Amino acid sequence: MRQKELQQKIKQLATDKGALLLAHNYERDEIQEIADITGDSLALSIEAQKTDKQLIVFCGVHFMAESAAILSPEKTVLLPRADAGCPMADMVTVEGLKALKKQHPDATVVTYVNSSAAVKAESDICCTSSNAVSVARSVAAKKLLLVPDRNLGRYIAKNVPEKECIFWDGYCATHDRLKVEDVEQIQASHPDALFMVHPECRPEVLNLADHICSTSGMYEFAAHNPATKFIVGTENGILWRLRKENPDKQFIMANRDMICPTMKMTSLEDVLHCLETMETRVTVAADIRIKARTALDKMLAVPR
Ligand code: CIZ
Ligand code: SF4
């Protein structure tokens, strides 16, 4: 089937079944094209909560669908590819986190939303890449366990020097791969471009940035900054919407290999199959869901 036909078939079936199609900013272009809403993981989960629709098709990775299920347990949340996980989220286990907490009983656990529901349930408060610094500042404890991303952790530690920070040694290979030399080379070829970068990148790369922000922050920065050329330091799926919303501006990847293999798994065929079969449903057991929800709600209560 041609791409357009497949897209039309999906849209029709989604309408017939009353489904809301969500796509993360890193999904393939043809998936983002048919989504009702594109966004970052938390924004999409909040949209899933707000809609009257009872069926959510979440084109993304497993922890994202879990977050939607935590916020809306009464809805049906489908993940088109059950095997699309997040390698960084998988770097921390509940047992490992419990052991670290035992070593630091006086610390507050601040967990990035890019983590499993079970790990969130073992955490005191969650954070995203856009609110990480405010969340860390809001915590009363002097000592923080920052889980699972060591790069986001070091970014928090730099901006909240009054706290003692202990990092879980996880990382996102897609972002960690970006090196200082890559950025310096691109900056030398495009001296008039501004470098915007995600805090999942290494600290020495963040030092070269004009703007450090989440994916949503990049859309805002690109739209409102008068500059016309930007070097992009995050997963390349972000280019689709950046270019669509800013047709007169130029966006250059800081490194061509910033491609997340699991975010790119979901195909149009998978989305169609998911709507036809109603598989795979993602649910979170009540005991975990309630604890994970508490950690998310605490984060949502922190003023920006
Ligand atoms: O790196 C990711 O997977 C991001 C930025 C996810 C999200 O939207 O929070
Ligand atoms: Fe996980 Fe990184 Fe992929 Fe995001 S880009 S889903 S953090 S591996």
Give me the average pLDDT of each 10-residue run along the chain (304 residues). 95 98 98 98 95 98 98 98 98 98 98 98 97 97 98 98 98 98 98 98 98 97 98 98 98 98 98 98 98 98 89
Q: How many CB atoms lie within 10 A of CB 126?
A: 30
Give per-residue burial for 173-188: e unless 16+ CB within 10 Å, then b: ebbbbbeeebbeebbe
CA angle 250, 251, 256 (to 5 degrees): 140
> Which atom number of ligand 1 is nearest to the Cα of residue 113?
9
Q: Which of 40, 42, 61 to mutate to test the pocket of ligand 2 (most atoms within 8 A of CB)?
A: 61
Whether the complex's predicted ipTM is more than 0.85 is answered with yes
Position 45 scores a pLDDT of 95
Distance CA 96, CA 206 (A): 28
The CA 177 to ligand 1 mean position distance, Å, reads 16
pTM over 0.95: yes
3-state secondary structure of 296: helix
Nearest alpha-carbon partner for 177 in 199, 201, 156, 198? 201
Strand bridging mode 164-167 / 125-127: unpaired
Distance CA 154, CA 30 (A): 35
Nearest alpha-carbon partner for 46 in 130, 123, 106? 130
Q: Establish whether residue 172 lines the binding site of ligand 2, counting it when its CB lies within 6 angstroms of any ligand atom.
A: yes
CATH no., domain 89-171: 3.40.50.10800
Distance CA 269, CA 167 (A): 39
The CA 86 to ligand 2 mean position distance, Å, reads 5
Q: Establish whether residue 88 lines the binding site of ligand 2, counting it when its CB lies within 6 angstroms of any ligand atom.
A: yes
For ligand 1, atom 2, which residue shows the shortest CA distance?
114
Position 304 scores a pLDDT of 76
Q: Which of 214, 241, 260, 264 to mutate to test the pocket of ligand 1 (most atoms within 8 A of CB)?
A: 214
CA-CA-CA-CA torsion for 13, 70, 29, 174, nearest 10 degrees?
-150
Ligand 1 site, CB within 6 A:
24, 40-41, 113-114, 128-129, 172, 200, 215
Q: Establish whether residue 262 lines the binding site of ligand 2, counting it when its CB lies within 6 angstroms of any ligand atom.
A: yes
CA-CA-CA-CA torsion for 119, 121, 126, 129, nearest 10 degrees?
30
Q: Establish whether residue 149 lines the binding site of ligand 2, counting it when its CB lies within 6 angstroms of any ligand atom.
A: no
For ligand 2, atom 7, which residue shows the shortest CA distance?
172
Distance CA 281, CA 107 (A): 35
Position 1 scores a pLDDT of 74
CATH superfamily of 174-253: NadA-like (3.40.50.10800)
> Which CATH number is 3-85+263-285's, of 3.40.50.12780, 3.40.50.720, 3.40.640.10, 3.40.50.10800?
3.40.50.10800
Residues of the chain with CATH 3.40.50.10800: 3-85+263-285, 89-171, 174-253
Q: Which of 215, 216, 262 to mutate to test the pocket of ligand 1 (most atoms within 8 A of CB)?
A: 215
> Which atom number of ligand 2 is nearest to the Cα of residue 172?
2
The number of the ligand nearest the C-alpha atom of 88 reads 2
